[in-house]
Structure 1
Amino acid sequence: MEDKLEEIIRQYPCQVRSRRRTRGAFLLETDQGLRLLKECSASQARIEFEERVKEQLIRQGNLPVDHTYKNNREEYFTKDNYRNNWVMRQWYAGVECDMKDHPCVMRCAGHLGRLHALLELGGAEEGVYIQKESIRQEMERHNKEMKRVRSYIRGKKQKNEMEICLLEAFDIFYGQACLAQSLLQECGYEELWQKTLANGLVRHGSYTYHNVLFMGKDIATTNFDKAEIGIQVRDLYDLLRKAMEKNAWHPELGRCLIQTYDRERSMEDSEKTVLYAMLLYPEKYWKLVNFYYNSRKSWMSSKNLEKLLKIRGQEEQRTRFLKEVKGILM
């Protein structure tokens, strides 16, 4: 491994002073600053799109991102002896966001608003990556899957504890799922989608605490491997849901996160409805239903049963949160 790493490093115009393993990569201290060296399975087109997005953030807002460096041959990819592709990216000596630290999460929300305000590529022309399935289509597919699983469990003569619990919770969560789908059908979602395509609006695709590094007053955004032309408030939904799960669905925190984002990038009414619909949708319940249906039905996972019981136990808190944010989104 050491020999392979040395061969890759020699192909870059920098001097490495020290290195250490980090999450799925190598962190290098060089004469030009911190670098991250990692194996990469993305295509050339994918890397070029990501770099186009990052360059937009650098040019328009001077925001720190994990820019990919070219090697001595002016190529993004460097091959090892086994013909695997590696990339070298700029990195930062920062700390990940603590999702239980309310001021920290608030900064994340405001930073996301700034990112989205800058991420407009001016049209979804050839060479960009576009969200493959709309949120409305995704909800419709998931709802059909939930009904299919309910029918399957109902047809069983003997049911285990997980199956009984899934059935007992079905009506309340499926009702939320149907209402969320209806909201998307009525809010002008298609017009919002066409505007997203026309303006080339990009979402990060994985805006989690792992990919946001705090460096004093600055924030670095990393890992754009899921970036795409898509409904931007989906990033805000991902951040909100994770923050709410970590903070017992704290209504005031949820309201403040939405307002903090909105101050940096004002949401249209249709976007607010889409965001509320996604928050209303019982994603955790659907994931457990989907996992159950695609696994061995004869074996019950105690871990998944615990997750289901936890979801049901938090529903009162989640309902209070939804009531709070509905007042500012609808």
Structure 2
Amino acid sequence: MNEKSLKVLEEYDLELISARRGRGSYICETSLGTKILADYNGSEKKAAFTSQLLQHMEEKGYQPVDKAVANKEGRLLCRDRDEQSYILKDWYEGRECDTKNSTDVRQAVSSLARLHGYMVWRPEEKTEYAGEDLRDIWRRHNRELKKIYEFIRKRKQKTGFERLFLKEYDRFAQQAKAAAWELEQSGYEELYQNSLKMGQLCHGNYNQHNVYFLGRRQIFTANFEKCGYDIQINDLYQFVRKIMEKQEWSPQTGDQMLDAYSRERPLADREVAYLKIRLSYPEKFWKVANQYYNCRKSCASWKSMEKLEKLTFQEEKRRIFLGFL
């Protein structure tokens, strides 16, 4: 995003006072208050769905929300000369959640549990924007891991990353197969269908970068663009996994997060079982491998090597943590 992007603000019924870069976007002080102008890669229809959801949540008492602002023509998206889409949303200044601060982490998880209580909505019988069946996702990921393994195995000149990948592949591939089998044997289908039937939605991208502390215990959750109907524990899984990776899979940290969530929204036994299955899948290993395969395979970056070394180093701690669940 560059300064030319600000030209799209002329399509809104407001006066721009000042603008500064922030988070790959522009944070704008306007005659209508603080707004954020950001790139948008989704459809106008999804933008409208998200806006209606946030309006519904606000009417139920959830605040603050980063609702989209309609332009003079009543549209939520604007396009520049290059046909890049932008969205203008309400914005609230705050500090980002500190992943090393246990109080921040607990409050973020408590806030997620409360958020899930508001994210129950069925505007129509047809369920659009439903999450993909996790069984299909894992089948695809497992095929991709095998494909990457075969590709690397046949290479004559191997990088340090490739040698380490081959060394660790069997261990993580077995974990992936075991998790997929456990998911098949669990009550996943019923849990998934019940979530859709009840109209439960996930934020879709709940991480420290989208959680802001505005003041004492007031939290602003941003960027609902990836929201959709699914098992809400998926949000908890994503946040827990990222925090645990940063905190060396500390059982104490994990216990604090689950306790904080349960205090606001008690977890059923099958939800805990589902969370454990999700955490048992080596998603980080798949992500690192997929990144390598889709970039320059001939020269894996030092960053990919660093990530692979870190996750192999943490593996024993991850296994111990899973034993506590």
Partner of 1:96: 96
1:257 aligned counterpart, secondary structure: helix
1:285 aligned counterpart, secondary structure: helix
2:73 aligned counterpart, secondary structure: coil
- Give, in whole Å, the separation in 2 of the partners of 1:138 and 1:301: 26
Task: Report the alpha carbon displacement of residue 317 of structure 1 after superposing the two structures with TM.
Answer: 1.8
Equivalent residue letter for 1:209: Q
Task: Report the alpha carbon displacement of residue 70 of structure 1 after superposing the two structures with TM.
Answer: 1.6
- Give, in whole Å, the separation in 1 of the partners of 2:54 and 2:221: 9
Task: Report the alpha carbon displacement of residue 323 of structure 1 after superposing the two structures with TM.
Answer: 1.7
- Give, in whole Å, the separation in 2 of the partners of 1:72 and 1:312: 53
- Give, in whole Å, the separation in 2 of the partners of 1:159 and 1:82: 41
Give the conservation status (yes or no) of the 8 Å contact 2:159–2:299.
Answer: no
- Give, in whole Å, the separation in 1 of the partners of 2:163 and 2:21: 45
Over 3 Å counting, the alpha-carbon distance change for 1:138 and 1:81 in structure 2 is closer
Partner of 2:205: 206
Count of matched residue pairs: 323
**Higher deviation after alignment, 79-88 or 242-251:** 79-88
Give the conservation status (yes or no) of the 8 Å contact 1:109–1:260.
Answer: yes
- Give, in whole Å, the separation in 2 of the partners of 1:315 and 1:198: 37
User: Once the two structures are superposed, what CA deviation does each residue of 1:294-328 show, in whole Å capped at 9, x if it has no partner?
Assistant: 4554434333223222211111222222222x2xx
- Matches for 1:1-330 after TM superposition, within 5 Å: 5=6, 8-80=8-80, 84-122=84-122, 125-126=125-126, 128-131=128-131, 133-155=132-154, 159-216=158-215, 217-324=217-324, 326=325
The answer for unaligned runs of 5 or more in structure 1 is none
Over 3 Å counting, the alpha-carbon distance change for 1:319 and 1:27 in structure 2 is same
**Higher deviation after alignment, 168-177 or 153-162:** 153-162
State the Cα RMSD in Å: 2.4
Equivalent residue letter for 2:323: K
The answer for unaligned runs of 5 or more in structure 2 is none
Give the conservation status (yes or no) of the 8 Å contact 2:204–2:235.
Answer: yes
TM-score normalized by the length of structure 2:
0.89
- Give, in whole Å, the separation in 2 of the partners of 1:254 and 1:60: 31
User: Once the two structures are superposed, what CA deviation does each residue of 1:162-219 show, in whole Å capped at 9, x if it has no partner?
Assistant: 3332222123222221221122112211111111221221101111111111111311
TM-score normalized by the length of structure 1:
0.88
- Give, in whole Å, the separation in 2 of the partners of 1:89 and 1:156: 49
Equivalent residue letter for 1:92: Y
Equivalent residue letter for 1:73: E
1:9 aligned counterpart, secondary structure: helix
Task: Report the alpha carbon displacement of residue 41 of structure 1 after superposing the two structures with TM.
Answer: 3.6
2:220 aligned counterpart, secondary structure: strand
Over 3 Å counting, the alpha-carbon distance change for 1:211 and 1:302 in structure 2 is closer
- Give, in whole Å, the separation in 2 of the partners of 1:154 and 1:85: 42
Equivalent residue letter for 1:223: N
Task: Report the alpha carbon displacement of residue 32 of structure 1 after superposing the two structures with TM.
Answer: 3.2
Percent of pairs with identical residues:
37
Task: Report the alpha carbon displacement of residue 151 of structure 1 after superposing the two structures with TM.
Answer: 4.0
- Give, in whole Å, the separation in 2 of the partners of 1:238 and 1:95: 21
**Higher deviation after alignment, 71-80 or 210-219:** 71-80
Over 3 Å counting, the alpha-carbon distance change for 1:303 and 1:8 in structure 2 is closer
